[in-house]
Amino acid sequence: MGESSKTSGENGEKITEELLKLIGWSSPLKGVSVPCNSKSHDKKTHGNDFVFIYNNPLHENRTDIVYVSSKNVKKGYPKGDQGVKTAFKGHLSELDGIVSCSKVSGEIKQAIQTFQGRKQKKHVGLLVWLHGDRETQNRDIKPALSRIQLDLASNCPLYLVDMARASFIKEAISHFRASKQGEKYHFYYPKLGNVIANADERYGDLLPIELMASDLIPIRFTLGEKPSLCLYAKQSFSEESMKKLCSLAFDFADGWVQDIFIGLESYHPAEDKQTKDAVLMAYQDRKANIKVFCYKESILDLLEY
């Protein structure tokens, strides 16, 4: 049992590391152990699976220090909502303790000093909670977690990437990389508050934590000689989702793009075409071409060629 648990944990760390590489989080610190400074934790040290430090492109003056905790179970999440809640609470409480003690540790302070980041430092926790059951890979556990209340000591934001979201990230980026334009692309950074104002600087090689934990991945690429936008969404096609994504895409594009591509979890080129065209008619005065596709590949994709 112990050997199986160890193997499952190692597999989770391997998948997590590869996932981080996909979003540009290369060369994170691995296996950083920090001393515990709280009697309530009842332990001497905390182990960080990964620590990643980067200048957050969504905020002009902020450096993020992200403490990544990888959890992996072989046979899937607990079947019932209560089991999911209990397991999640345990994982999140553990991560909260890691962040609470790591942010004041000498090891992390030295790493931040070596990085030479921006003036504002933001300590963030990221729980990557995976499992090995293919049949329930896309199970939505968010409803089970919606009303959880925890007394967290770190006072730092904690994010969750579950199996469904990790799969979405992998599928979206792999899908774009396999396209004709996939050799050269950047993640696009939309205006989300106190962000860089210059559009020429609003894209880069890494995906910030806010977008990693969202259901959207915006990608900027060149089509011919013109900049274009591809917006991947962890959503199924519907009239309502189409309206929201079109509006969002135009907000993101901010007038600099003529070609917009919207990728969805489900879109039937024959059955959904009429609804799609009706939605796009509302945007015909906008100078942009919008193409909708499903990033889960199917022979039906040939209808869009």
First to last CA, the chain: 51
Residues 47 and 192 in one domain: no
Answer yes or no: do 130 and 67 share one domain: yes
Same domain, yes or no, for 88 and 135? Answer: yes
Classify residue 159 as left (phi > 0), alpha (psi -120 to 50) or beta: beta
- 268, 298 contact by CB (below 8 A): no
Last residue of a domain, which of 102, 137, 162? 162
Residue 26 shares a structural domain with residue 139 = yes
Q: How many domains does the chain have?
A: 2
Same domain, 138 and 255: no
Range of 152's domain? 2-162
Q: d(Cα 110, Cα 131) in Å, to the nearest integer?
A: 34
CATH assignment at residue 248: 3.40.1350
223 near 229, Cβ under 8 Å? Answer: no
| 38 plus 109 within the same structural domain | yes
Domain end: 133, 162, 191, which one? 162
Same domain, 138 and 196: no
Instruction: Give the SS3 label for residue 189.
Output: coil
Q: Are residues 17 and 149 in the same domain?
A: yes
Residue 259 exposed, middle or buried by CB count within 10 Å (0-12, 13-18, 19+)? middle
Same domain, 130 and 242: no
Tell which of 105, 130, 162 closes a domain. 162
Q: Are 22 and 173 in contact (CB under 8 A)?
A: yes
Q: Cα-flanking dihedrals φ and ψ of residue 259, to 5°?
A: -115, 120
* Same structural domain, 150 and 201: no
Walk along the chain (305 residues) and give the pLDDT tens digit of each residue: 454 566 888 999 999 999 999 999 999 999 999 999 888 888 899 999 999 999 999 998 999 999 999 999 988 999 999 999 999 999 999 999 999 999 999 999 999 999 999 999 999 999 999 999 989 988 989 889 988 888 888 899 999 999 999 999 999 999 999 988 878 999 999 886 555 545 547 899 999 999 999 999 999 999 988 999 999 999 999 999 999 999 999 888 877 888 999 999 999 999 999 999 999 998 877 778 899 999 987 655 555 54
Q: With H, G, I as helix, E, B as strand and everything else as coil, classify residue 215.
A: coil
Helix then strand then coil, in percent of the chain rounded to 5, is: 40, 25, 35
Do 173 and 294 fall within a single domain? yes
CB contact burial 236-252 (16+ within 10 A = b; e otherwise): ebeeebbeebbebbbeb
pTM of the entire structure?
0.91
Same domain as 235, residue 97: no
Positive or negative, the CA dihedral 280, 282, 284, 286 is: negative
